[in-house]
Amino acid sequence: MRLPLHTLRPAVMLFALALLSACASGPRNNISLIPGDQVAAQTSKEGLFTQPVKWEHKKPGCKGECPTIKLDSIVFPGNKKLTELVDHALATMTGISTKGVQPYDSVAGYQDYFWKTAAPRDSTLLSAKTRYRNKNLTVVELNTWQYLTGAAHGISATQFLNWDNDHHIVLALEQILQPGKLPDYVAALKAAHQKWLAGNADARHDPQTYNRLWPFQASENFAFTDQGLVIKYDTYQIAPYYFGQPELLLPYSELRDILQPQYLPAQG
């Protein structure tokens, strides 16, 4: 069972092929992805080796105000598949100004397209970083920010990739949940959202209006951390623009009967 498409973030659909390949292999049942002695830390330093790749380019031959692209990403030496997936995902997350399928599938292809179509003040930032790592799992956080000439502000988007280091696949939500537990996951997420609203001054001031304008949305955009699953939302999804990109935390203690046992912290 999957969440209805209208509840999903648009960026999730960009990884449909990756998720389908992930579903081809079942979850492991003989290890824990989250070492029990690391739960107190926010980020583990173990995992796949990474190297940074950074550059900032201005449209060739342009004088004065010029379109720009900045890349602050990572590559995985020895892991071509994940390196190419990160590159492809960042490129396809830029499709805010096109209709249908983008005419590019890589950052290099996007750059060529951008120089041909960008207005003078258009700007794009593409970034990728590891959010969590251990020997079995590498979580990559992908971020894009785009400013279109004349707009009031830029548009941002975030997507997580939960990469199984051994099987070389992206883990889909249905793989990490116990059978039939999707409704329980959504309920736990909704409860976390209610806690988040309790600390939101705007929501407390006029809850009826706030819930009408910014209703709860379920999401499959999850990331493993030492503390639990983090669910991250884009701007405008569950809050006004000035709230940025809200994150909701589902602690592992609340997921004992929801997650597959091998994706819970090891018990010492």
Please tell me whether residues 230 and 199 are part of one structural domain.
yes
Tokens in use for 28?
Answer: 């492991």
CATH number at residue 247: 3.90.640.20
Please tell me whether residues 96 and 75 are part of one structural domain.
yes
Taking only the tens of pLDDT, the chain with its 268 residues reads: 444 433 334 444 444 444 434 444 444 443 445 565 554 444 445 678 899 999 999 999 999 999 999 999 999 998 999 999 999 999 999 976 556 678 899 999 999 999 999 999 999 999 999 999 988 999 999 999 999 888 888 888 999 999 999 999 999 999 999 999 999 999 999 999 999 888 888 878 888 888 888 899 999 999 999 999 999 998 888 888 878 889 999 999 999 999 999 999 876 5
Please tell me whether residues 52 and 155 are part of one structural domain.
yes
- 268 belongs to a structural domain: no
- 164 belongs to a structural domain: yes
Q: pTM of the prediction?
A: 0.83
Residue where the block lists tokens 């590498």? 138
Domain with 50, as residue range(s), is 5-173
Tokens in use for 222?
Answer: 């999850």
Are 239 and 211 in contact by the 8 Å Cβ rule? The answer is no
Cα angle: 135, vertex 246, 221; to 5 degrees: 45
For residues 201 and 76, what is the distance between their CA atoms, to the nearest angstrom? Answer: 42
Instruction: Give the ranges where the chain is alpha helix by DSSP (H).
Output: 16-23, 80-92, 107-117, 173-176, 182-198, 201-205, 207-213
Please tell me whether residues 45 and 104 are part of one structural domain.
yes
- 186 belongs to a structural domain: yes
Are 169 and 21 in contact by the 8 Å Cβ rule? The answer is yes
Which residues have C-beta within 8 Å of that of residue 203, sequence separation ≥ 6?
A: 197, 210, 211, 214
- Across-strand partners of 247? 232
Please tell me whether residues 43 and 15 are part of one structural domain.
yes
